[in-house]
Structures are given as C-alpha cells and as structure tokens.
A and B are shown apart, each in its own frame.
Chain A
C-alpha cells in the first residue's frame, strides 16, 4: 500500500480512537437518547397524531444535524492545538509525514467522527418516530446526501479557525458560524447583499423541506447545493493548509 495512504490511515485510527474515548461524544449520545425518551414519552402519553409525529420527525432530524455538527466542530478545533500543546506534533512530523498529510488526516478523522455520530442519530430518529403523513423520499435522500458535505465543511472551518484563533474563540466562532449564520443571513438578505459571503450551513438543511412533504430538488438545483459546500470546504482547507505551512512550530 502506498506509504502516504498508510500514514493517513494510522492518523485516522488515532483520531477515531480519541473520539471513542472522549466523554463528550457519549454525552451527545445520551442527549440523543433523551430525545428518544421524549419522543417515546410523547407517544406514550397519546401524542401520535399525524401532525405531532411529523413534528417529532423534523425535530429528530434537526437534532441529529445539530449534535453531529457540534461534535465535529469540537473535534476539529482541538486537533492541531492539542497536538501542539501536548507536544505530540513534533514526533509526528519527525516521521516521514508532511504537514499536508497530517492536516488531511486530521480533517478526515473529524469528518468520519461526525458522520459516525450522524448515522447513529439518524438510526435513532428512524426507530423512535412514526411516519404518519406522506413524504417525498427523494427529498430525504437529498438531505442525507448533503449533510455529510455540511459536516465536512464544518470540520474544515473548525480546523481553519483553530489555526488563527485561540481555542476557546475558535470553538465559539465556529459554532456561531455553523448554527447562527443562516438566521443572520435571513434577517439581512434584503438589506445587505454582502451577507451572501457568509457561510450558510442552514441552506444545506433540507429536513423541514422533507417533513413538510415538499418535492425533491431538480438535478441542477441539487448540483448547486453540492457545489456550494465543496467550494467552502476547499476554501477552508486550502487556507488552513497555507496557515499551517507557514506556522513556526
């Protein structure tokens, strides 16, 4: 196997092991369990009208997205600063491992971690929420296809901000951009056209469109939705790469 890929796999394994050991992942799993409990509780208390079931489905998908993005950002902002702080970065770079591979490995690990959690949460949602109205399955497929891209972008953004801001600020800034920028965009889009430069994670969330029973996007529309996070991810990773290269260790 190519030596570079092997190193990348080792890095991935290390980061995923770290994710497994981290308690915050389990806290999020517990919280998703709490959603399961609430959902089952609501069903148990006789709240299974079609409208309430759809509301529950929407809430479940929203929470799955929120928790997965939250965890991805937490993971991403501490990858490189932690390695520097614990001085584990030096032995890593002393091996025949260049900074680009290290950055890619860290990013991939965060993406995989986020995806793992997201998949788990989607399974929980599917298990606890009944489907009592008609939905367009293709819309769900589009939502599930776009969310991984959103997670990948969130990981890139977290890494980029962690390279130019102190850890706490990078975390706060990333969470703010991931969760609040779409709301800000909606508030200002009619008055300030510059808000289009904001990262719009919310635009990639088709969960409510799906639970509203709205139709799937056309091929061209879907293509736009795929290209948008790709451009942002490339921007984040590219800028992070340059910053990391120039960084004096």
Chain B
C-alpha cells in the first residue's frame, strides 16, 4: 500500500507539472496564418487528404465551404478581401442578404467569387472513373461547377467554430468568423465569444478590432439605427467601442512590420493584405471616434502618430 501511495504521489506531481507544459500554446505560426492555409487547402496534398486534415484552420476551410454550399465540396478559394475582420462582416451579411432575397447575379455576394470554382469530385467530362465517378457524384452532394451555387445559412457552422477554438485557443480566425455568425442570432453571445478569445490572446489586434466593431454595432442597434443621438447609454457604448478601437490600433502598431519605401507592406512574409486592411480600419476608426466623440487634440495626436506609422495609407494623410 505504501508503494502505491508513492506512485500516486508521482501522478500528483505530473498533474502539477501539467499547466507548465503548454508549449503548443504559442501565438501566430504558419499553421494559423490565413494566406498560408488558403494555399495549403488548395494544394494537391490537401485534396488527397480530404477530411483527414484535422487542424483547426483546415476545419474552418472544409466546413465553411461545405456548409455554405449545402454539402458540395469545392476547392477552397477565399479571397483576401474576405479574410479581414470587416471583410468577414460584409461577407456574412451579403451572403445572408442573397439567401433572403434569392439574388444570383454576380457581384452581389462576396462569396460569388466561387462561380466556376472547381469541385473536388470532377465533372463527368474530366472523370476517368466512368461509372464509379457517376456513382460518386450521385452519392455525394455534387453540383455542376458551371451552375450557380446553392447557398445555405452559415448558422449551422457555429458549433464547428466552438470546437475549433476549444481545440486551438490561439486560432484567432475561429473567434472572428464565429462571432460574426453568432452575432446574427445573439449579439451578447458573440461578444462573449470574442472576449474568450481575448483571454487567450490578450494582445491580438484583430480580436480587439472585432470586439470594437461588435460594440459599435450594438450602439447603433441601441440608437435604433443611428449613432447620432443624445441617449447616454448609446454614447457610453460608443466611448467603450472607441477604447477598443484605440487598443486595437496600439496593438497593431506594436506588431506591424516597419514599412520599407518602395515595397508593398502586404508582400511582407508576416503581414498580408488582410492584416493591412484591418490595420487601416483600426487606425481610422480610433481617430474618427476620438474626433467625434472624444477629445479633438487627442485625435490629432493619434492621427500624427499613425500617419508616421502608415505613410502609405492615403486616407490618413489627408
């Protein structure tokens, strides 16, 4: 019995050591970089592996494509515009608007870039398997890639976002996209989801930006569609949103690579177009809200600061 108690003590020691071995909990990394994942998910290897890609970011690509297209497997091809926080928001809204109104014309829905997208199961003309291919197309959800895509509600994606962020709490994209889908049904739950992301990633500027946008939208909802109201509750909400935009801009300034004259910052290996798009949104909104709802002198200070930081951002230079 004495010996068993010794082994039990070893177990306790191991359990006590467990919180100190979270070495897979690092921020950033290629496996979480969106542009890299777009590239990976379009690669032959990813198509061969199919649903056996189990990383949180790969799950996002697989499930988003499938669920938004009623199960049809297309080769993933998200554009950079859809990867930013604002792009995600607009993409989700427009996708839902199209579903409601039944629009099919090109250009209305940002997800329309998919027209003529390649399906994972080839078309009859490209399939060497003949009868087997025919059966494959019959058994699996399949639609001729030449036809307009059949879009469906992304609400059912929400559980997958929950699982993604539980599996990898540093997968920022899971929180951002998830929050934009949740907010359509429960804005408070969406806010809590982003806050959970901030607990795990307190310095991530895109999460702060996402939270700020959610707060601003809530202020607009409280003001019945406008921010221009004397309602104290609305004004308070705007001030809180302003703080988060400013925090997002501060965090952005900390991580944004230094601009090299003559080179596009979006070509930097650690900084894509969607990062830059969010960086601009954070700086712009931080200044704008300070100007309108805060102190104009502070707004000017902020403007000077971000003008120096982002000399290529024309809107700030005006």
Is there a direct interface between A and B, measured as CB atoms under 8 Å apart in the complex?
yes
Cβ of A197 under 8 Å from chain B: yes
| Chain B positions within 8 Å of A211 at CB level | 30-31
A56 to B28, CA, bound (A): 19
Say if the beta carbon of B293 comes within 8 Å of chain A. Answer: no
A38 → B minimal CB distance (Å): 6
Are A56 and B45 in contact (CB-based, < 8 A)?
A: yes
In chain A between 151 and 201, which residues have their CB closer than 8 angstroms to a CB of chain B? 183, 186-187, 196-197, 199-200
Binds A, one of B14-22, B135-143, B234-242: B14-22
- Complex CA distance for A45 and B45, rounded to whole angstroms: 9
> How far, in angstroms, from A234 to B43 measured CA to CA in the complex?
44
Residues of A within 8 A of B167 (CB): 183, 186-187
Contact yes or no, B39 A214, CB < 8 A: no
**Does B3 belong to the interface (CB within 8 Å)?**
yes
User: A58 to B46, alpha carbons, bound, how many Å?
Assistant: 12
Binding site for A on B (CB under 8 A): 3-4, 6-7, 10-11, 13-24, 26, 28-32, 36-37, 39-40, 43-46, 48-49, 55, 166-169
Q: Is the CB of B31 within 8 A of A238?
A: no
A186–B166 CB distance below 8 A? yes
Shortest distance in angstroms between B207's beta carbon and chain A's nearest beta carbon?
Answer: 17
In the bound assembly, the distance between CA atoms of A221 and B26 in angstroms comes to 13
Residues of the B chain whose Cβ atoms lie less than 8 Å from the Cβ of A52 = 39-40, 43-46
Chain A 61-77 per-residue mask, 1 if CB under 8 angstroms from chain B, else 0: 00000000000000000
Which residues of chain A have C-beta atoms less than 8 A from B11's C-beta? 197, 231-232, 235
Binds B, one of A18-26, A83-91, A222-230: A222-230
Contact of A231 among B14, B44, B55, B168 (CB under 8 A): B14
For the complex, is A41 an interface residue (Cβ under 8 Å from B)? yes
Q: Is the CB of A51 within 8 A of B48?
A: no
A96 at the interface (CB under 8 A from B): no
Indicate if the CB atoms of B10 and A234 lie closer than 8 Å: yes
Task: Let me know if A217 is at the binding interface, CB within 8 A.
Answer: yes
Known: A196-B15, A232-B10; 18 extra A-B contacts, CB below 8 A, are A45-B44, A49-B43, A51-B30, A54-B30, A58-B31, A186-B169, A206-B23, A206-B24, A208-B29, A212-B31, A221-B20, A224-B17, A224-B21, A225-B21, A234-B7, A238-B10, A239-B7, A242-B4
Does the CB pair B21–A55 fall under 8 Å? no
B19 (CB) vs chain A CBs: closest residue: A196
Q: How far is B159's CA from A187's CA once the two chains are assembled, in angstroms?
A: 13
The number of inter-chain residue pairs (CB within 8 angstroms) is 126
Q: Does A7 contact B (CB under 8 A)?
A: no
A187 B166 Cβ-Cβ under 8 A: yes
Please give the residue numbers on chain A whose beta carbons come within 8 Å of chain B beta carbons, in ascending order: 38-39, 41-42, 45-47, 49, 51-52, 54-56, 58-59, 133, 183, 186-187, 196-197, 199-200, 202-206, 208-209, 211-214, 217, 221, 224-225, 227-228, 231-232, 234-235, 238-239, 242
Find out whether the CB atom of A42 lies under 8 angstroms from the CB atom of B45. yes
Assess the B31–A42 pair: CB atoms within 8 A. Answer: no
In angstroms, Cα B44 to Cα A183, docked, is: 27
Query: A139 to chain B: closest CB distance in Å?
Result: 10
- Do B44 and A239 have beta carbons less than 8 Å apart? no
- State in angstroms the CA–CA spacing of A238 and B48 once bound together: 44
* Distance (whole angstroms) from the CB of B67 to the closest CB of chain A: 21
Shortest CB–CB separation between residue A245 and chain B, in angstroms?
A: 9
Q: A209 contacts B44, CB within 8 Å?
A: no
* Given A47-B43, A238-B3, CB of A228 within 8 Å of CB of B49: no
Closest 8 CB pairs of A and B: A212-B29, A47-B44, A52-B43, A196-B18, A42-B45, A51-B39, A231-B14, A235-B10
Tell me whether A242 and B3 are in contact in the complex, defined as CB-CB below 8 angstroms, given that A231-B13, A231-B17 are known contacts.
Answer: yes
**Is A59 touching B22 in the complex (CB atoms < 8 A)?**
no
Contact call B23/A42, Cβ cutoff below 8 A: no
Contact of B23 among A225, A235, A238 (CB under 8 A): A225
Chain A residues near B40 (CB, 8 Å)?
51-52, 54-55
What is the distance, in angstroms, from B76's C-beta to the closest C-beta of chain A?
13
CA distance A19 to B280 in the complex (A): 61
Give every chain B residue within 8 A of A197 (Cβ-Cβ). 11, 14-15, 18
Q: How far is the CA of A59 from the CA of B58 in the complex (A)?
A: 13
Chain B residues whose CB sits within 8 angstroms of the CB of A186 once the complex forms: 166-169
A213 x B29 contact (CB < 8 A): yes
Chain A residues contacting B48 (CB-CB under 8 Å) are 38, 41-42
